[in-house]
């Protein structure tokens, strides 16, 4: 953490105990929208700053990121078997009205 970050944490903490003007419950509620890049009401930078400043919320973001990465890795490895693939293709071609 840089000195600037330390100052930001100090001054941010004065605002009703929030980091970067965002309450922890709001940051945690927005974690999915934040990771999806779909924040509607709160600027992305504000939520990002909260997670960077807040020791309480950062582990939640970190865990959610790791969880999503694990899901993605699992999904990438998941492919249809050759048998299933040919069966699906056969059914699709049989289902065509012009064939
Ligand atoms: Zn927090």
Q: Which residues contact 12 (CB under 8 A, 6 or more apart)?
A: 18, 19, 20, 21, 49, 53
Task: Find the 6 Cα to ligand 1 centroid distance in Å.
Answer: 15
Q: Which residues contact 89 (CB under 8 A, 6 or more apart)?
A: none
Res. 37: pLDDT tops 60: yes
Task: Find the 67 Cα to ligand 1 centroid distance in Å.
Answer: 19
Task: Find the 72 Cα to ligand 1 centroid distance in Å.
Answer: 26
Q: The whole model's pTM is what? A: 0.58
Task: Find the 85 Cα to ligand 1 centroid distance in Å.
Answer: 47
pLDDT digits (tens, 9 = 90+) for 67-97: 999 998 888 877 788 999 999 999 999 986 6
Task: Find the 27 Cα to ligand 1 centroid distance in Å.
Answer: 6
């Amino acid at each position: 953490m840089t000195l600037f970050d330390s100052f930001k944490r100090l001054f941010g903490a004065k605002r009703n105990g929030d980091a970067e003007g965002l309450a922890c419950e709001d940051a945690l509620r927005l974690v999915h929208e934040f990771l999806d890049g779909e924040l509607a009401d709160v600027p992305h930078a504000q939520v990002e700053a909260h997670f960077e400043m807040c020791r309480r919320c950062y582990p939640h973001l970190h865990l959610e990121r790791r969880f999503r990465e694990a899901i993605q890795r699992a999904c990438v490895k998941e492919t249809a078997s050759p048998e299933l693939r040919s069966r699906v293709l056969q059914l699709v071609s049989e289902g065509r009205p012009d064939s």
